[in-house]
């Protein structure tokens, strides 16, 4: 089940330039850095905005376009991935552990859109911090 917005990820051919631009646009520096990825926490509920070096794009994403993948929190990535494929989606990127407490996968829906799913420990921390939204 899709529980709520977790992370939006944009691709950028020049990660350093994208990080600088978004830091200016958001009025804050990225809080998280690993090779090929930076992340900002934005707004009252600290939604995650990730910028991924385009060199890491899945093989199905070689069109040179920008764009985004919106990741929705799920409690079980593998089960939800299988459910979405059973519903007619095609695999975009299989299950990948991005770090402790962060697992992603994505599919292409029957209409050509990329749908990301993610187990996101930060999402669960925010739900616990705001129990009225649970």
Structure tokens at 48: 């995650």
Contact at 8 Å (CB) between 15 and 38?
yes
User: Can you spell out the DSSP letters for 21-56?
Assistant: HHHHHHTS--SEEETTEEEEEETTTTEEEEEEEGGG
Report which DSSP code applies to 14.
S
- Does the structural domain 4-133 have CATH classification 3.90.650.10? no
* pTM for this model (two decimals): 0.67
Q: State the Cα–Cα distance between residues 75 and 77, nearest whole angstrom.
A: 7
- 15-50 tens-digit pLDDT: 999 899 889 988 899 999 999 999 999 877 788 889
Q: Report domain extents, the chain.
A: 4-133
């Amino acid at each position: 089940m899709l529980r709520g917005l977790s992370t939006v990820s944009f691709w950028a051919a020049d990660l350093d330039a994208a990080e600088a631009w978004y830091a200016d646009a958001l009025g804050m520096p990225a809080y998280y850095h690993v090779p090929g990825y930076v992340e900002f926490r934005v707004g009252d509920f600290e939604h995650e905005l990730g910028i991924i070096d385009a060199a890491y794009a899945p093989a199905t994403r070689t069109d040179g376009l920008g764009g985004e993948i919106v990741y929705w929190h799920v409690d079980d990535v593998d089960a939800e991935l299988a459910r979405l494929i059973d519903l007619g989606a095609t695999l975009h990127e299989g299950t990948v552990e991005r770090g402790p407490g962060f697992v992603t996968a994505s599919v292409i829906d029957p209409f050509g859109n990329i749908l990301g799913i993610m187990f996101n420990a930060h999402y669960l921390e925010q739900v616990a911090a705001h129990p009225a939204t649970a």
